Structure 1
Amino acid sequence: MSVGGERWTGPQSPTPGFFGPAESTTPVTANGTIYTALPGTNSIVALNPNSGEILWQQTHHKDEAVSGTYNRPAVDDGLVFVTAWPQEATAYRADTGEQHWHRELEEMTVLPPVATDEGVVIQTRESVQLRTRSDGALLWERNLDGNVTDSTPAVANGTIFVADERESLHALSLATGETRWTVPFDGKTTPVVADGRVYAVDSLWALEAFDVATGEKQFEYHPSEVPLSPPMVGDGMLYLANRGRVLALEEA
């Protein structure tokens, strides 16, 4: 087989709807299995990476087409944590797909979860909350008066880094939700933490780096073209997709 040749095609989305093709979500791999939302449906599936075979499939609101596709899942220690509009937060067993717990949240808009040893971090339109891994019970909730529609928190060293999409990026204590620092920041973002810095793309056009402990800005990078993708970090380099090219940045 040639390099880059197609090995298999997984489960297909339904026929495109009135607004065009369904938007896909990022799959997650763990312990030899692919976990992903199936665009255009209310389903999440576990796939065999060698064949694309569905190992299990779970669907919320089976009879309600107006419900939302699951967000990108978080997989950790044998559990798959997923969220979806409206108000859905669920944990499934990673091996069988059996429901471990389910919670209906107060907020309609729910963003992708982040799994940590301390609990599951879930961002909603206005707030950030931490729920227990065992049964989804609420440990704390911090109202940021946000208007978040398309951001995802990052968690590192006992701190949650999260944008409110109302001109601020916050560092919150994972244990309590209390603010450690807040800096000006515009728009949606998916921050990445590495080497004592949190990297985040501001309004899709500028990469900014902040000190993890203090929030002090370390640098700002403006490309010649926009938009910028969320960053990836590896071997001392920052990688970003930028229109038809890939950028690799190193510390000057």
Structure 2
Amino acid sequence: MRVGGERWAGPQSPTPGFFGPAESTPPVTANGRIYTAVPGTNSVVALNPDNGEVLWQQTHHKDDGVSGPYNRPAVDGGIVFVTAWPQQVTAYHADTGDQHWHHELEEQTVLPPVATDEGVVIPTRESVQLRARSDGALRWERNLDGNATDSTPAVANGTIFVADEQESLHALSLATGETRWTAPFDGKTTPVVADGRVYAVDSRWALAAFDVATGAKQFEYRPSEVPFSPPIVGDGTLYLANRRQILALEEA
């Protein structure tokens, strides 16, 4: 077997537009399939991981040039949950691609969803919503007076951890949306929760760690080279990547 060779190529983006190539969206694997948005289009697809075959494809606003592509999907319990600018929140059956439910929101910036047992967490520019998995009905909405355009929340132990991209990182109750704590934090982030801590890389390119229960900052790490990726955690070690290397951090 040749290592590093291309095995297959899936759906291709159209010709680059005025602003250059479309940004790619991270795929999600579940149920033996790959679910992903197709860059530069308004489509989300399910792919066969063995050969890249398109098993189903759904497209919103086919004839609307001002609409936007889907965000990274969330897949759970046989349902694919997706959001898209300007106001789309949709659930599709993972096996067939048939629409399960669809809602148009008032907020025009809708960020990637997170699927939980309690419901689907939908972050927007200013707020966070929880919607029912069964029909997308709104369970609660919490306005954070934010300006979030490029963050994704983390959910763990019944708590949502989300940045407002203004000046704070919030811990909200998954069940009610009530604030559990708020900590000073600058910029966009994709937090990671592990070992009783919330790890987040801020717009100043520093890694901060907060206590899950209280929000107290436990440490901050500033590397010699930036920017660097969100962390992953394994066996008590934090792994991050910057422009030229992979970093492994452990508690002193």
Residue identity matched to 1:220: E
Distance 1:26 1:37 in 2: 8
Distance 2:43 2:64 in 1: 12
Could you say which residue in structure 2 is the equivalent of 1:170?
170
Distance 2:97 2:85 in 1: 20
Distance 2:74 2:244 in 1: 29
Task: Write the deviation string for residues 37-81 of structure 1: whole angstroms up to 9, x where unpaired.
Answer: 000000000000010000000000011122111000000010000
Distance 1:117 1:235 in 2: 26
Which structure 2 segments of 5+ residues have no match? none
Q: CA RMSD in A?
A: 0.7
Map 1:138-217; keep pairs closer than 5 Å.
138-203=138-203, 205-217=205-217
Distance 1:21 1:244 in 2: 24
Deviation at 1:147, TM superposition (A): 0.4
Deviation at 1:204, TM superposition (A): 5.0
Distance 2:243 2:155 in 1: 28
Could you say which residue in structure 2 is the equivalent of 1:245?
245
Distance 1:251 1:75 in 2: 33
Distance 1:221 1:4 in 2: 33
Deviation at 1:31, TM superposition (A): 1.5
Could you say which residue in structure 1 is the equivalent of 2:46?
46
Count of residues paired in the alignment: 252
Could you say which residue in structure 1 is the equivalent of 2:30?
30
Distance 1:150 1:125 in 2: 9
Residue identity matched to 1:19: F
Residue identity matched to 1:224: S
Could you say which residue in structure 1 is the equivalent of 2:60?
60
Could you say which residue in structure 1 is the equivalent of 2:223?
223
Distance 2:245 2:84 in 1: 32
Residue identity matched to 1:79: I
1:47 and 1:53 in contact (8 A); partners too: yes
Distance 2:45 2:244 in 1: 31
Residue identity matched to 2:155: V
Distance 2:15 2:143 in 1: 39
Could you say which residue in structure 2 is the equivalent of 1:78?
78
Distance 2:49 2:164 in 1: 36
2:103 and 2:136 in contact (8 A); partners too: yes
Task: Write the deviation string for residues 112-141 of structure 1: whole angstroms up to 9, x where unpaired.
Answer: 000000000000000000000000000000
**Residue 12 of structure 1: SS of its match in structure 2?**
coil
**4+ runs deviating over 4 angstroms:** none
Q: What TM-score comes out, normalization by structure 1 length? A: 0.99
Could you say which residue in structure 1 is the equivalent of 2:109?
109
1:46 and 1:55 in contact (8 A); partners too: yes
1:85 and 1:110 in contact (8 A); partners too: yes
Deviation at 1:241, TM superposition (A): 1.3
Distance 1:238 1:72 in 2: 24
Map 1:116-131; keep pairs closer than 5 Å.
116-131=116-131
Distance 2:21 2:123 in 1: 26
**Residue 155 of structure 2: SS of its match in structure 1?**
strand
Percentage of identical aligned residues:
86
Residue identity matched to 2:138: L
